[in-house]
Amino acid sequence: MNGKMRLIITMLIFGSIGVFVKKIELASSEIAFLRGVIGSLFLVFASILIKHKPSYKALKQNAILLLLSGTAIGLNWIFLFQSYRYTTISNATISYYFAPIFVMILAPWVLKEKLTSKKVICIIMAMIGLFLIVNPGSGNSSGSENNLVGILYGLLAAAFYASIVLMNKFIKDLSGFETTLVQLMAGALVLFPYVLWQSHLNFSGINSTSIMFILIVGIIHTGLAYFLYFTSLQELKGQTIAVLSYIDPISAVLIAAIFLHESMSLIQMLGGILVLGATFLSELKMVKKGRTSTTT
């Protein structure tokens, strides 16, 4: 299987995660914790199979950043899963794709990058798009209040994802695979005491459907998807990665419409096009071969 096909499959997997998360009868923090644990175990097993030896010196040098970014991954997942619970998968996904806009806004201060006129236009486009999605008169079945709460959770998830992207810029001498593996382990480790405090890790009442879906989210949507993602990056150019990455939100909208009968108003569709269009334009030059961040 070539790199392009592996990336397409990865984006389709990421695009379907919301449907599975909505069917899991656990708190968002519990789902995030289990996803981190199961995904980490899968990637450890994969690294053993491919005989990949991490650089322990580089891991030690980047320990603080890996711990902080791992924590951000855990919080990112919690807020994204909360977003799925309050609004539609379409709105949650598009709100989540606001992350590149946050990166553009923060880059002049964090990365000392110039805020160009093109970036300003992308930010304004995204802001207008977000306003159209939030529009209380859009007729969303979830109710305008829940819809707004869900979108806010999606934006919080996007903010934490943006922080991961920025922190990864300062991680040195580690591959994307190594970085993600350690971040998943760190995220699960940080989430463990929080989940223990919140729910005492009581999974006795969980049904078989939730067990099956959490295994799918951990193994397929995390371990396998991240493995396919990083092995595909080695063969593809940055702009190809940027273009194919938009299979994720488009497939998420289509899958939610087919399996959950979710819909968007014409105004919300226009807003979604503006947000995704703005992030697409911003990523054309920002995404480079070998980037170390994942989408979902």
Count the domains in the chain.
1
Q: How far apart are CA 289 and CA 195, in angstroms?
A: 36
Query: Half-sphere exposure (CA, 13 Å, Cβ side) for 18?
Result: 36
Specify the DSSP element, H or E, that contains 245: none
pLDDT one-digit tens code per residue, 179-216: 999 999 999 999 998 888 876 666 766 888 999 999 99
Residue 83: inside a domain, yes or no? yes
Residue 293: inside a domain, yes or no? no
Q: Which two tokens stand for residue 259?
A: 């399996």
Q: Is pLDDT at 290 greater than 60 in this prediction?
A: no
Give me the sign of the Cα torsion angle 163, 169, 174, 178: positive
Residue 65: inside a domain, yes or no? yes
More confident residue, 284 or 273: 273
Domain that includes residue 227, residue range: 3-286
pLDDT one-digit tens code per residue, 61-111: 999 999 999 999 999 999 999 999 999 999 999 999 999 899 889 988 988
Residue 278: inside a domain, yes or no? yes
Q: Which two tokens stand for residue 147?
A: 């819809």
